[in-house]
Amino acid sequence: MPKVSLLFFLLISFVHLSAQTPELRSACKELDQLNTAIINGSVNKQQAAVKFNQLILSIKNTGAISGNDTWVFPLAGYHANAIGGTHGNGYSDKGYKYLDGNKHLAHPAHDIFITDRNQDGLDDRTLKPVNVLAVTDGIVIACTNEWPTASALRGGKYIWIYHPQLNMLTYYAHNKAIFVEPGDVVKQGQRIAEVGRTGYNAYKKRSPTHLHFSAFHFINGLPAPFNCYQNLVKAQAL
């Protein structure tokens, strides 16, 4: 590696690691625990709303990262024609409330399908797992790498990423393996997971292998879904 390139790489690595402060990691782990309680319905909704907003503000105020508003496509080797439905019509956020946890009935997401006819979780063309990528720079605020097949959790192994520069969240569900944890600062295009079949419905044979991808703004301090179809269409394929 040329000397200048090596110095640049070391500088970027230092900035990336230094952004992951103990305070940031602690706030993210606390938010991860709160998110789990919301999913399980084991927390008072009003108290959860206040705490969620406080934690997001504390994470944003760390100034851990900055970035741009362009996206890369969240599945390596794929692009927008892998999105299910016609022109993104599989998206439906009617009735969605974040505080309903696992009980909400909406589908505020785009399912992005891989070529996997035998449902072994491998791309039929490459015979390898398909990497899930962070669409832009962000901070992992919640995730789980555990999903028992008897679980009713619909998201399976999921990841929530907060993007301070855009003040929005992205959500990646049904993964086979997770490579990040709460408090990690991730860069655009970074591998964060592998596509899988985890989750109450995604595990069933009737469901083709896919990534469930959502994006959220904030309304009254809580995640509110928005249709990011055009963002995905314009995203750079890697």
pLDDT digits (tens, 9 = 90+) for 183-226: 999 999 999 999 999 999 999 999 999 999 999 999 999 999 99
* pLDDT number for residue 163: 96
Going by pLDDT thresholds of 50, 70 and 90, the confidence category of residue 1 is very low
Contact 16, 185 (CB under 8 A): yes
Both tokens of 220, joined, read 């009254």
Distance CA 24, CA 17 (A): 12
Q: Which of 40, 93, 44, 71 lies closest to 161, judged by CA? A: 71
Contact 157, 193 (CB under 8 A): yes
DSSP bridge partners of 216 = 169, 225
Q: What is the pTM of this model?
A: 0.91
pLDDT digits (tens, 9 = 90+) for 16-45: 444 678 999 999 999 999 999 999 999 999
Rg of the chain (C-alpha set): 18
What DSSP string describes 22-63? Answer: HHHHHHHHHHHHHHHHHHHT-S-HHHHHHHHHHHHHHHHTTT
Both tokens of 162, joined, read 């907060």
Lowest average pLDDT, out of 8-17, 88-97, 145-154, 170-179, goes to: 8-17
Count Cα neighbours of 125 within 13 Å in the Cβ-side half-sphere.
Answer: 5
Contact 154, 102 (CB under 8 A): yes
Q: What mean pLDDT comes out for the span 63-90?
A: 89
* CATH fold for the domain made of 22-234: Glucose Permease (Domain IIA) (2.70.70)
DSSP bridge partners of 210 = 113
Contact 52, 27 (CB under 8 A): no
* pLDDT number for residue 69: 80
Q: Is 147 exposed, middle or buried (0-12, 13-18, 19+ CB in 10 A)?
A: buried
The CA-CA-CA angle for residues 166, 167, 168, to 5°, reads 90
pLDDT digits (tens, 9 = 90+) for 114-123: 999 999 999 9
* pLDDT number for residue 16: 45
Both tokens of 45, joined, read 């909704």
- Domain boundaries, given as residue ranges, for the chain: 22-234
